[in-house]
Amino acid sequence: MRLTLIIYTLAATALSGVAVIAVLTMGMYSVKPILLAAIAGAVVAAPVAWFVARMIEEGLMAIPALSAR
């Protein structure tokens, strides 16, 4: 659970930022689309963080070059 929350803080920031930049690139400069994009990024980050944390905990994301030592 702790790893999931740590990953969530990173993923939510990154995904929200990408979504806001995408909205701004499309020329939507009002508050509503920007807030919706930021919220959507934060919502999408929750399952992403859970999945990545699960993969790390199960050892499925081990880096082969480092684990061969």
Q: What is the mean pLDDT of residues 4-9?
A: 97
pTM score: 0.82
Q: What is the mean pLDDT of residues 34-52?
A: 97
Distance CA 55, CA 50 (A): 9
Domain-wise residue ranges, the chain: 2-67
Average pLDDT, the chain: 91
Does residue 7 register a pLDDT over 70?
yes
Distance CA 33, CA 62 (A): 38
Confidence of residue 51 (pLDDT cuts 50, 70, 90): very high
Does residue 67 register a pLDDT over 70?
no
- Measured N-to-C along each axis, helices 31-57 and 2-25 cross at an angle, to the nearest 10 degrees, of 150
> Which of 37, 43, 45 is CA-nearest to residue 19?
37
